[in-house]
Amino acid sequence: MLLASLLGLSRLQFALTAMFHWLFVPLTIGLGFIIAIMETYYVRTGNEFWKRTTKFWMKIFAINFAIGVATGIILEFQFGTNWSNYSWFVGDIFGAPLAIEGIFAFFLESTFFAIMFFGWDKVSKKAHLLSTWLVAIGTILSALWILVANAWMQYPAGMEFNPDTARNEMVDFWAVALSPVAINKFIHTVTNCFVIAAVVVIGISSWYLLKKREDEFSRKSIRIASVFGMISLVVLIWSGDGSAYHVAKKQPMKLAAMEGLYKSKNGTPIVAFGILNPKKMISRLETDSLGYALQNPFLINISIPQGLSLLVDRKMDTFVPGIEDIIQGGYTYTDEFGNEQTALSVKERMRRGKIAVEALATYHKAKEAGDEEGKETALGHLMENYPHFGYGFIEKPTDIVPNVPLTFYAFHIMVILGGFFLLLFGLAIYLDRKELLTRFKWFHLLAIISIPLVYICTQAGWIVAEVGRQPWTIQDLLTTGASLSGVSPSAVMTTTIMFFLLFSVLLAAELTILYKVIRKGPAA
């Protein structure tokens, strides 16, 4: 019970910090490029209108930049305070991209941010424009290394386990930095940030049009943001398709939870809209597998036949395993090297994982006793079963199943809202070309409402990514329970409350400042 309480509180604190942090960062990343585009117009045309417009959006950028840095620092400290076993196990790998991110964040971004924000009359136009572009580029380079670290947790590569230190060590930096999962996650996340910034710019500009203020400023801001957002959203959808492919290959349980897929077949359909059956309990697998399998997982299910098979393998008849299939094993799949394999059951992986864990303990005992033969034997057992190491900490097979309703609904909310924003950008572009942006109040209201919706969409995406991979901090190698620090639940509870209050104050302060800046409008 103590471990469960500590685990729950530690996860709650990390989720709270991460979600607050992600309220500020996406707008900073996306708005940096919109600002750079606007300032480029100013330098090319010499029109003071574009300078005025750039300065206004730069204020919004600066407010988010400052608070994003503050919440990010707290987030990184938790790896040492709450998750020290995780940091010990993979710190040699995970620490490298975080260190590089710090260099970009505190040297490139911060240095040129000062020139960008305060250097309008102190450096030449071109030097100032260069600083603005470098800040924008710095934000995505900073994000790149955070996303590389996160992608490695979902798909560990480029490392070897050192039994003497019981740590994973990096042997191929480029395998970590350029893994297909990392590249796809970077593209998907950054274009998501671009979409958020575009929606915010359109929403704020529409507020001015609704108030019959700043007509030219609003129309031209919407023009840039809608085209920028549409291009970004197309790339976002494309990278989302790539994400589904990689999740299917590396994290099939996450994909099954995203689709509410329990028992599969060749030519697996994809859920377009569904409401889950709350009576479909995972725990029944252990006592009544047949009855559980026959129970309908959906109350309402509108599916596209063979859609999931086509999405993950570009073939109509591919078998995509469901939750029960993964737990029971026995199906065939193609590994990353193109070889056909038979999936092991979770119970078998648990058995092999326990062999690996016990072999590591035996290795250290033999090493202390000077037993070279025993050491080599234990090392052989360890390396043979190391791919299943994390399963040695699993208590029962159903523990590898994430929160299905939360993952399922978050995924489908994200997809539905993505379609909504595609419509929003299309409408904005059409109305701008027809010179109708100022006429329709319903569009202005729709754009304003879209601001909270885009934040719901991006938070849903992170819920899918992080809740969907539970119980793993590192896929198949380390569980969240085994990653904890030896701190007391009361200490974690106290700091969680403190962080919540602090973040709430920061959020309230930001919204208050933003409201004042927006209400005042662009300075003449």
Q: Give the pLDDT confidence score for residue 291 in this predicted structure.
A: 43
Q: Is the pLDDT of residue 157 over 80?
A: yes
- Quote the pLDDT of residue 286: 46
Residue 168 parent element (H or E): strand 167-170
Decide if 424 is inside a domain.
no
CB 224 within 8 A of CB 198: no
Q: How far is 484 from 454, CA to CA, in rounded Å?
A: 33
* Same domain, yes or no: 16 and 163: yes
Query: Do 102 and 224 fall within a single domain?
Result: yes
* Domain closes at, from 378, 397, 416: 397
Tokens at 57, concatenated = 């959006």
Quote the pTM value.
0.92
Strands (E), 184-254: none
Residues 143 and 25 in one domain: yes
pLDDT tens track for 406-447: 999 999 999 999 999 999 999 999 999 998 988 899 999 999
Segment 469-495 mean pLDDT: 91
Residue after which a domain boundary falls, among 362, 397, 432: 397
- The confidence score (pLDDT) of residue 69 equals 75
In-domain check, residue 440: no
Sign of the four-CA dihedral 452, 453, 458, 463:
positive
Rg (CA), the chain: 25
Residue found by looking up tokens 């019959």 in the block: 212
Determine, yes or no, domain membership for 297: no
Task: With respect to residue 301, please indicate whether it lies within any of the assigned structural domains.
Answer: no
Element (H, E) at 193: helix 180-210
Q: In the prediction, which pLDDT does 280 show?
A: 67
Q: Which amino acid is at 129?
A: L
Range of the domain at 107: 2-253+486-520
Q: Are residues 81 and 218 in the same domain?
A: yes
Does the pLDDT of residue 133 top 70, yes or no?
yes
What the block records as the tokens of 465 is: 């990514």
Band (pLDDT 50/70/90 cuts) for residue 1 is very low
Confidence of residue 292 (pLDDT cuts 50, 70, 90): very low
Judgement on whether residues 359 and 236 belong to the same structural domain of the protein = no
Give the model's pLDDT for residue 75: 79
CA–CA dist 31, 35 (Å, integer): 6
- Residue 357: pLDDT over 80: yes
Length of the chain: 524
% residues pLDDT > 70 (the chain): 95
Give the separation between CA 230 and CA 223, rounded to whole angstroms. Answer: 11
Pairing of strands 270-276, 167-170: unpaired
pLDDT at 478: 93
Q: Which residues contact 135 (CB under 8 A, 6 or more apart)?
A: 32, 36, 109, 112, 113, 116
Q: Do 12 and 120 belong together in one domain?
A: yes
Q: Which one of 361, 379, 397 terminates a domain?
A: 397
What SS3 state is found at 327?
Answer: helix
* Within-domain flag for 248: yes
Mean pLDDT of 358-373: 92
Question: Has residue 504 been placed in a domain?
Answer: yes
Count of structural domains, the chain: 2
* 393 and 515 part of one domain: no
Residue 457 lies in a domain: no
Q: Which residues sit opposite 270 in a β-bridge?
A: 304
Give 115's contacts (C-beta < 8 A, 6+ positions apart).
122, 123, 127, 128, 131
- Statement to judge: residues 98 and 209 lie in one domain: yes
Q: State the SS3 of 5-43.
A: HHHHHHHHHHHHHHHHHHHHHHHHHHHHHHHHHHHHHHH
Six-digit token pair at 35?
A: 């600002």
128 occurs within a structural domain: yes
Residue 104 is given by DSSP the state: I
The whole-number pLDDT of residue 204 equals 96
Same domain, 392 and 490: no
Residue 289, pLDDT > 50, answer no
> Between β-strands 270-276 and 472-474, what pairing exists: parallel, antiparallel or unpaired?
unpaired
Specify the pLDDT at position 245. 87
